[in-house]
């Protein structure tokens, strides 16, 4: 399974990674010298002073001093699990990716996370949850780096630093640790109204899941699949938990956060240990790949929009089963590095401007977080496909590359050709259309509706769920110090639903301001005649 390189001792680097540090019978230094005593420093006389000469003391303390690596800039708190994905064979007409083939099994590693809290924060915070899946396919690693909500706060990656600055704790007092109850968050989402749709999902019960095992997952962006004959379709990925989607109430979340801040990670680990393996079906909504890249007025490149599942049903492609806990949190859950740019033949990206920025960001941040460019050599990140790249040297390089000509083609190292022939399944970027136009910093008109889907979501909820939404806005906005921010957000609630605005205003003891705009005319449950047809798979 290891890359096509060897370690200095001639062993394949894919060999048991524990053997690197835990071989032999006796305690040793990092250099392998056996130790007689690891509890007493070397002193001049029994009562000291301690000698600088004590190499074991210095090695032990110095290594400890450097045990921590930076936490992720977002999604710092997470829990991981290993598992397997089994294809149903239903994707054959729309994607050539080998992992979808019937009964094909592919190992996966999944990391669930909260977004905003630090590594030590509590699990039941009201927040979006990360749902990142690494598929170790024979054809390279595919990362589907999604969330438990189908839309995102912003439409363009250039705003990502801003939304994260606004949502993370205030820079002066570092509060609140892990909730959206503060001025900068509400200032941002009320000024950038594209965030209103994602925000109402956060204020709903979806913001406090019962368990990682009972969360849906979404790829959010529209992706492009490429079939063996070169034809393409556009898809949105969905994970459907076999246990169904469940949440807790706010009161339960508050008590759980106090009594057991590790509740979600404990639940996941305990279930797997007990053999109750959680399962999700991976499915897709499929759309024609044409120049417009729209579905009935919904811009498929806008990550703040869904396409209702009644209109385009989710069609299953395979089943994921999580069946093993990590044996070392740091080596697996902490060092795993996901990247939406990790694609395999048959799966490609679209021009969604949020996705385009993500394609740069992950690799870039991981160079800092994991100390240089060679983290694909860490055991959890190693592809399960043969690797033969021309990347060389760098910090923490652990491969000893052979040859003298790290470029292709060359006439020195056997003259291997650069190109992979078509019948050996190379990755090919789909020849997708691009819209001719002017180079400019601007947004498409089809991205400008910020309220109708927030209303659609609210109207799709039951009365009890709507009540929870109103209570959540009241609680969270109640923690804002700035009255003008509350007023601005209340006006937006009026554009989503007038009763919602009135209820939250009453809870805050405020007047109901004029709505930002009249609520849109949307129908939450389409008539049966409108129910969409499945794509012919």
Footprint of ligand HEM (CB under 6 A): 72-75, 78, 111, 113, 130, 132, 145-147, 152, 157, 160, 220, 303, 336-338, 354, 357-358, 361-362, 365-366, 369
- Two tokens at 362? 């992950």
Phi and psi for 96 in degrees, rounded to 5? -90, 0
In the DSSP assignment, the letter for residue 12 is: B
Closest distance to ligand HEM from the beta carbon of 359 (Å): 9
| Nearest alpha carbon to residue 136 among 360, 342, 431 | 342
Residue closer to ligand HEM by CB (options 72, 82) is: 72
Closest distance to ligand HEM from the beta carbon of 353 (Å): 9
Cβ atoms of 449 and 191 within 8 Å: the answer is: no
Cβ atoms of 461 and 500 within 8 Å: the answer is: no
Give the integer Cα–Cα distance in Å for 202 and 253.
14
Give the integer Cα–Cα distance in Å for 278 and 243.
8
- Two tokens at 112? 């669930």
Q: Which residue has the tokens 């239903």?
A: 90
Cβ atoms of 131 and 110 within 8 Å: the answer is: yes
Give the integer Cα–Cα distance in Å for 236 and 347.
12
Residue closer to ligand HEM by CB (options 158, 386) is: 158
Residue closer to ligand HEM by CB (options 328, 483) is: 328
Nearest to ligand HEM by Cβ — which residue?
130
SS (H, E, C) 93-135: CCCCCHHHCCCCEEEEEEEEEECCCCCCCCCCCCCCEEEEEEE
Q: Which residue has the tokens 């305990």?
A: 270
Closest distance to ligand HEM from the beta carbon of 428 (Å): 25
In a 13 Å sphere around the CA of 363, the CA atoms on its Cβ side amount to 11
Give the integer Cα–Cα distance in Å for 239 and 258.
30
Give the integer Cα–Cα distance in Å for 136 and 113.
20
147 is catalytic: yes
Residue closer to ligand HEM by CB (options 169, 217) is: 217
3-state helix, strand, coil in the chain (%, to 5): 30, 15, 55
Closest distance to ligand HEM from the beta carbon of 217 (Å): 9
Residue closer to ligand HEM by CB (options 358, 455) is: 358
Closest distance to ligand HEM from the beta carbon of 325 (Å): 16
339 is catalytic: no
Residue closer to ligand HEM by CB (options 161, 524) is: 161
Closest distance to ligand HEM from the beta carbon of 370 (Å): 8
| Nearest alpha carbon to residue 184 among 201, 198, 165 | 165
Residue closer to ligand HEM by CB (options 263, 375) is: 375
Options 55, 56, 82, 147, the catalytic residue: 147
The alpha carbon dihedral of 195, 198, 200, 202 has a sign of: negative
Closest distance to ligand HEM from the beta carbon of 44 (Å): 46
Catalytic residues: 75, 147
């Amino acid at each position: 399974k290891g890359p096509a390189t060897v370690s200095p001792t001639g062993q394949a680097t894919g060999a048991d990674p524990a053997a690197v540090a835990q071989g032999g019978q006796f305690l040793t230094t990092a250099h392998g010298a056996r130790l007689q005593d690891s509890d007493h420093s070397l002193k001049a006389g029994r009562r000291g002073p301690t000698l600088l000469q004590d190499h074991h003391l210095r090695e032990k303390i110095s290594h400890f001093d450097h045990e921590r690596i930076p936490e992720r800039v977002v999604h710092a708190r997470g829990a991981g699990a290993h598992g397997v994905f089994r294809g149903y064979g239903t994707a054959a007409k729309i994607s050539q990716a080998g992992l979808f083939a019937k009964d094909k099994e592919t190992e996966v590693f999944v990391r669930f996370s909260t977004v905003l809290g630090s590594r030590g924060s509590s699990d039941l915070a009201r927040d979006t949850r990360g749902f990142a899946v690494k598929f170790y396919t024979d054809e390279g690693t595919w990362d589907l780096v999604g969330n438990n909500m189908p839309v995102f706060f912003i439409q363009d990656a250039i705003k990502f630093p801003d939304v994260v600055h606004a949502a993370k704790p205030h820079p002066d007092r570092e509060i609140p640790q892990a909730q959206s109850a503060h001025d900068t968050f509400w200032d941002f989402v009320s000024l950038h109204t594209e965030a209103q749709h994602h925000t109402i999902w956060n204020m709903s019960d979806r913001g406090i899941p019962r368990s990682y095992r009972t969360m849906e997952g979404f790829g959010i962006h529209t992706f492009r699949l490429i079939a063996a004959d070169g034809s393409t379709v556009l898809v949105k990925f969905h994970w459907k938990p076999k246990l169904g989607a469940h949440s807790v109430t706010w009161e339960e979340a508050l008590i759980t956060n106090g009594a057991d801040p590790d509740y979600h990670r404990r639940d996941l680990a305990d279930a797997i240990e007990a053999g109750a393996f959680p399962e999700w079906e991976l499915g897709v909504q499929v759309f024609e790949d044409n120049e417009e890249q729209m579905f009935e007025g919904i811009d498929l490149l806008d990550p703040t929009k869904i396409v209702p599942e009644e209109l385009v049903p989710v069609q299953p492609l395979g089943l994921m089963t999580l069946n093993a806990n990590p044996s070392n949190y740091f080596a697996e859950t902490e060092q795993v590095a996901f990247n939406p740019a990790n694609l395999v033949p048959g799966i490609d990206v679209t021009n969604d401007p949020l996705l385009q920025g993500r394609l740069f960001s992950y690799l870039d941040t991981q160079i800092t977080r994991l100390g240089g460019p060679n983290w694909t050599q860490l055991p959890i990140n190693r592809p399960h496909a043969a690797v033969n790249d021309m990347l060389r040297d760098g910090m923490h390089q652990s491969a000893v590359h052979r040859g003298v000509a790290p470029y292709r083609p060359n006439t020195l190292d056997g003259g291997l050709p650069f190109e992979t022939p078509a019948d050996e399944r190379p990755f090919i970027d789909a020849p997708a259309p691009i819209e001719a136009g002017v180079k400019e910093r601007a947004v498409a008109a089809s991205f400008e509706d910020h309220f109708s889907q927030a209303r659609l979501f609210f109207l799709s909820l039951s009365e009890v769920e709507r009540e929870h939404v109103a209570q959540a806005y009241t609680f969270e906005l109640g923690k804002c110090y700035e009255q003008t921010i509350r007023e601005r957000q209340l006006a937006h609630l009026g554009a989503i639903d007038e009763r919602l605005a009135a209820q939250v205003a009453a809870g805050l003891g405020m007047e109901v301001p004029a709505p930002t705009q009249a609520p849109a005319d949307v129908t939450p449950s389409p008539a049966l005649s409108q129910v969409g047809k499945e794509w012919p798979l």
